[in-house]
């Protein structure tokens, strides 16, 4: 009996010694070319891994780590113990341009994952090109779409949104008919009270179904701002209505009707963005010239698309764009959000959908851009894969600026926002 008690006590002590301490766990992974995380094709790459709890090294941490090309299955999996909470791991590099992912999983005493993170090293990303091709009638298709929309009266309904107005900005809630009769674009327009005429920026939304609010930050600096929704639904409904639509009628909207080129969901969306610009050009406070589009994620893709579609746009800002290089997955590499042709959707890969996707690929629109743009993203974004973003960015021949925040995933930092705002204001107002 005493031996049993002693053995049990020893087991409990061993368990306690191996259990993870409580606190904020952080896994930090850094490619060994820490300045830019960039390598030449054929180079090997090492990643420095540090595991901490509340900022202190987690000694004897147990980890599993994998290597994979971005969004592809892991080709190597290893486990290790980190006596001092650190380790350097190494793998062969890539044989073609792209991004190589190191993902690290912290394991508990039972081998279960309790935390994980990743870092992606770049291999000659400036050489990436889209796998999608440009249809011969691409420009004609969209010229016809714009011509057909021009026949639809805008019929704007404008209401003052008193609750959003400030001493510097007047805000209006707007409904515009777009694309076809009784189909609407809803938005908020914030107009500076300062003396005009003013430049204008259209903010296009990220993915999802949610309530959209007006933006007054740039309006207070003398810029007319318009924020829009893309789903043809009012922006001022009770919050629960958006959850109902998100989980019901609008669930999976990004895949709706891709079988039929003229009826794919995003045709109406793209035309709605153009219709919003139509409205801005009716405003007496607008100077009729300095027009910009800005967005992130789905909005980043829409900023590319809208700029290419509408020659009235003079500048654009694009954060981590979605909708780029859909066909990447068909060539065994990462494609853009919404990942319509990835390996989990092989049944979705019909000839009609593949061919039609080319007309809605932001990478093809990027080829047509002729005005300056500001781009920004991080290397660790798996929502909008970095491979797809560079594929679109690299075919833009107009003046462009790229700001990187290497560790960022699908988000942006205050630094990125600050630099984007400064770029926008410099284009609008020069050195004023």
**The pLDDT of residue 21:** 87
Tens digits of residue pLDDT in 279-305: 999 999 999 999 999 999 999 999 999
Q: Which residues contact 332 (CB under 8 A, 6 or more apart)?
A: 72
Name the E strands within 32-168.
38-39, 45-53, 56-57, 61-69, 76-82, 86-91, 98-107, 113-123, 157-160
Work out the pLDDT band at 4, boundaries 50, 70, 90.
Answer: very low
Query: Active site includes 231?
Result: no
Task: Please answer whether residues 224 and 310 qualify as being in contact, where contact means their C-beta atoms are separated by less than 8 angstroms.
Answer: no
Average pLDDT over residues 123-149: 98
pLDDT in tens, 340-379: 999 999 999 999 999 999 999 999 999 999 999 999 999 9
Q: How far apart are CA 169 and CA 305, in angstroms?
A: 29
DSSP 3-state of 74? coil
Query: Residue 236 is encoded by which pair of tokens?
Result: 């001022």
Q: How confident is the model at residue 254 (pLDDT cuts 50, 70, 90)?
A: very high
Neighbour-count burial for 6-28, b at 16+ CB within 10 Å, e otherwise: eeeeeeeeeeeeeebeeeebebe
Q: Stretch 200-206: mean pLDDT, rounded?
A: 98
Task: Give the span between the Cα atoms of 55 and 34, in whole angstroms.
Answer: 20
pLDDT of residue 7: 39
Distance CA 172, CA 228 (A): 12
Which residues have C-beta within 8 Å of that of residue 95, sequence separation ≥ 6?
A: 41, 42
Burial 127-153 (b: 16+ CB within 10 A, else e): ebebbbebbeebeeebeebeeebeebe
Q: What is the DSSP letter of 330?
A: G
| Closest CA relative to residue 293, chosen from 216, 364, 200, 418 | 200
* Whether pLDDT at 5 is above 90: no
pLDDT at 17 exceeding the cut of 70? no
What's the 3-state SS for 135-172? CCCHHHHHHHHHHHHHCCCCCCEEEECHHHCCCCEEEE
Cβ contacts of residue 427 below 8 Å, gap of 6+? 290, 292, 314, 315, 372
pLDDT score of 16 more than 90: no
Percent of the chain predicted with pLDDT > 90: 93
The residue-averaged pLDDT of 223-248 equals 97
pLDDT band at 14 (very low <50, low <70, confident <90, very high): very low
Confidence band, pLDDT 50/70/90 cuts, at residue 11: very low
pLDDT on residue 331:
96
Q: What is the DSSP letter of 406?
A: T
Contacts for 257 with CB less than 8 Å, ≥ 6 apart: 263, 264, 265
Q: What is the pLDDT of residues 320-332, one digit of tens each?
A: 999 999 999 999 9
Q: What confidence category does residue 20 fall into, taking pLDDT thresholds of 50, 70 and 90?
A: confident
| Residues whose CB is less than 8 angstroms from the CB of residue 108 and which lie 6 or more positions away in sequence, other chains included | 19, 20, 62, 114
CA distance 202 to 185: 13
Asked whether the bond before 338 is cis by omega within 30 degrees of 0, the reply is: yes
pLDDT for residue 2 is more than 80? no
Q: What is the mean pLDDT of the chain?
A: 94
Residue 347: is it exposed, middle or buried by C-beta count within 10 angstroms (0-12/13-18/19+)?
Answer: exposed
Could you confirm whether 410 is annotated as catalytic? Answer: yes
Do the Cβ atoms of 392 and 366 come closer than 8 Å?
A: yes
pLDDT for the residue numbered 332: 95
Q: What is the mean pLDDT of residues 117-146?
A: 98
pTM, to two decimals: 0.94
Alpha-carbon distance of 150 to 277, in angstroms, equals 12
* Amino acid 431: pLDDT: 60
Annotation marks residue 40 as catalytic: no
Residue 180: what pLDDT? Answer: 95
pLDDT of 34 reads 85
The pLDDT score that the predictor gives to residue 18 is: 52
pLDDT at 38: 97
| pLDDT of 160 | 98
Which of 190, 297, 357, 391 is an active site residue? 297
Q: How many CA atoms lie within 13 A of 339 on its CB side?
A: 14
Q: What is the pLDDT of residues 57-111, one digit of tens each?
A: 999 999 999 999 999 999 999 999 999 999 999 999 999 999 999 999 999 999 9
- Sign of CA pseudo-dihedral 344, 350, 353, 356: positive
Which residue shows structure tokens 């009716």? 282
Which residues have CB under 8 Å from 123's CB, separation 6+?
Answer: 38, 39, 40, 41, 43, 93, 94, 96, 97, 98, 99, 100
Q: Residue 398 burial by CB count (10 A; 0-12/13-18/19+): exposed, middle or buried?
A: middle
Q: Cα separation of 248 and 332, whole Å?
A: 32
Please, is 79 exposed, middle or buried when counting C-beta atoms within 10 Å of its C-beta (0-12, 13-18, 19+)? exposed
CA 163 vs CA 186, 224, 238: distances in Å: 17, 18, 16
What pLDDT score was predicted for residue 127? Answer: 98
Candidates 62, 381, 388, 391; catalytic one:
381
Asked if the model's pLDDT at residue 12 lies above 80, the reply is no
Give the pLDDT mean for 172-185: 97
Q: What are the structural domains, with CATH classification, of the chain?
A: 24-127 (2.60.40.1930), 138-429 (3.40.50.1820)
Q: Considering only CA atoms, which of 227, 210, 201 is closest in space to residue 293?
A: 201
pLDDT at residue 120 is higher than 70: yes
pLDDT at 123: 98
């Amino acid at each position: 009996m005493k031996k049993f008690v002693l053995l049990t006590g020893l087991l409990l002590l061993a368990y306690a010694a191996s259990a993870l301490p409580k606190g904020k766990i952080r896994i930090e992974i850094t490619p060994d070319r820490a300045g830019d995380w960039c390598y030449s094709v054929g180079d090997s790459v090492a990643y420095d891994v540090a595991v901490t709890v509340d900022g202190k090294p987690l000694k004897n941490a147990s980890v599993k780590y994998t290597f994979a090309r971005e969004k592809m299955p892991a080709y190597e999996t290893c486990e290790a113990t980190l006596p001092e909470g650190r380790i350097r791991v190494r793998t062969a590099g890539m044989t073609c341009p792209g991004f190589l992912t190191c993902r690290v999983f912290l394991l508990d005493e039972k081998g279960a994952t309790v935390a994980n993170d990743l870092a992606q090293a770049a291999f000659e990303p400036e050489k990436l090109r889209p796998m999608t091709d440009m249809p011969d009638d691409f420009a004609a298709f969209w010229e016809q779409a714009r011509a057909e929309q021009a026949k639809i009266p805008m019929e704007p309904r404008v209401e003052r949104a008193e609750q959003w107005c400030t001493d510097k900005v007047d805000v209006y809630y707007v409904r515009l008919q777009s694309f076809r009769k009784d189909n609407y674009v809803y938005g908020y327009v914030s107009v500076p009270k300062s003396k005009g005429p003013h430049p204008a920026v259209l903010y296009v939304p990220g993915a999802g179904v949610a309530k959209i609010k007006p933006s007054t930050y740039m309006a207070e600096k003398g810029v007319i701002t318009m924020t829009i929704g893309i789903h043809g639904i009012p922006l001022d409904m009770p919050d629960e209505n958006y959850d109902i639509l998100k989980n019901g009628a609008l669930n999976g909207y990004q895949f709706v009707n891709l079988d039929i080129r003229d009826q794919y969901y995003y045709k109406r969306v793209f035309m709605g963005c153009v219709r919003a610009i139509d409205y801005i050009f009716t405003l007496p406070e607008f100077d009729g010239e300095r027009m910009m589009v800005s967005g992130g994620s789905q909005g980043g893709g829409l900023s590319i698309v809208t700029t290419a579609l509408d020659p009235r746009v003079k500048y654009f800002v694009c954060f981590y764009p979605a909708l780029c290089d859909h066909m990447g997955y068909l060539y065994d590499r990462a494609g853009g959000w919404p990942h319509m042709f990835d390996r989990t959707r092989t049944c979705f890969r019909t000839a009609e959908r593949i061919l039609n996707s080319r007309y809605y690929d932001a990478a093809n629109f990027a080829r047509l851009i002729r005005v300056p743009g500001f781009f920004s993203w991080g290397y660790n974004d798996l929502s909008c894969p970095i491979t797809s973003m560079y594929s679109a960015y690299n075919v833009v021949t107009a003046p462009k600026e790229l700001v990187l925040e290497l560790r960022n995933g699908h988000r942006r930092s205050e630094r990125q926002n600050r630099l984007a705002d400064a770029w926008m204001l410099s284009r609008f107002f020069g050195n004023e």
